[in-house]
């Protein structure tokens, strides 16, 4: 925990390299506890392939819905719908509301990978108020653009902008919005 706290101090001082070193030390001491932090660090600041490696290693040992959903998001960004389907298969027998939400999210990510907006449109309804990640916000924004709903577009765009800029999703949303506006008002 000391190393994890040090990483926070390094982040506060904008020392990303120091934060990485502290997280690596924490991970060496307890892979289970610090795999989520280190994986998210790599996804946000370094390399999604390295993040994926950490998440996959964690999931090979532990049944963890949160990490599975983060891993599925990376698969989605890499356009690997078959890998998301594999995760869904591994987690579909879980019980409870969170498991059902996880399954719905896997379905939505698969549809998003395949650019199947019709399926995605129906699949995001139970997710909107329950999943709040940069990728989910971007996905909801894309659905609203597809649905041509100006109020929903404005709301989902603002939600996306409230997130840290993850893998240039905000810039992609800006470009999509500009194209939408050009088509709508010309």
How confident is the model over 36-71, as pLDDT tens digits? 889 989 988 888 999 999 999 999 999 999 999 999
pLDDT higher than threshold 80 for residue 1: no
Question: Which residue, among 155, 78, 16, 27, has the nearest Cα to 143 in the 3D structure?
Answer: 155
User: What does pTM read for this prediction?
Assistant: 0.87
Mean pLDDT of 118-129: 90
CB atoms within 10 A of CB 178: 10
Band (pLDDT 50/70/90 cuts) for residue 109 is very high
pLDDT higher than threshold 90 for residue 125: no
C-alpha 128, offset from chain centre? 14
Mean pLDDT of 84-97: 92
Per the CB < 8 A criterion, the answer to whether 77 and 63 are in contact is no
Phi, psi dihedrals of residue 63, rounded to the nearest 5° = -90, 105
pLDDT at res. 57: 95
pLDDT at res. 73: 95
């Amino acid at each position: 925990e000391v190393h994890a706290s040090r990483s926070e101090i390094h982040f506060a001082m904008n020392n990303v390299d120091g934060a990485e070193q502290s997280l690596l030390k924490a991970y060496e001491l307890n892979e289970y506890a610090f795999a989520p932090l280190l994986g998210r660090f790599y996804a946000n600041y370094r390399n999604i392939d390295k993040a994926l490696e950490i998440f996959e290693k964690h999931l090979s040992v532990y049944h963890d819905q949160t990490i599975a959903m983060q891993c599925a998001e990376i698969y989605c960004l890499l356009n690997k719908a078959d890998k998301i389907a594999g995760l869904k298969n591994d987690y579909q027998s879980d019980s409870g509301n969170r498991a059902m939400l996880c399954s719905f999210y896997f379905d939505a990510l698969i549809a998003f990978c395949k650019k199947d907006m019709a399926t995605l449109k129906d699949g995001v309804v139970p997710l909107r108020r329950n999943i709040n990640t940069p990728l989910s916000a971007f996905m909801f924004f894309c659905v609203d653009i597809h649905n041509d709903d100006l109020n929903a577009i404005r709301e989902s765009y603002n939600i996306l902008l409230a997130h840290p800029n993850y893998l240039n999703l905000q810039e992609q949303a800006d470009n999509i919005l500009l194209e939408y506006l050009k088509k709508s008002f010309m």
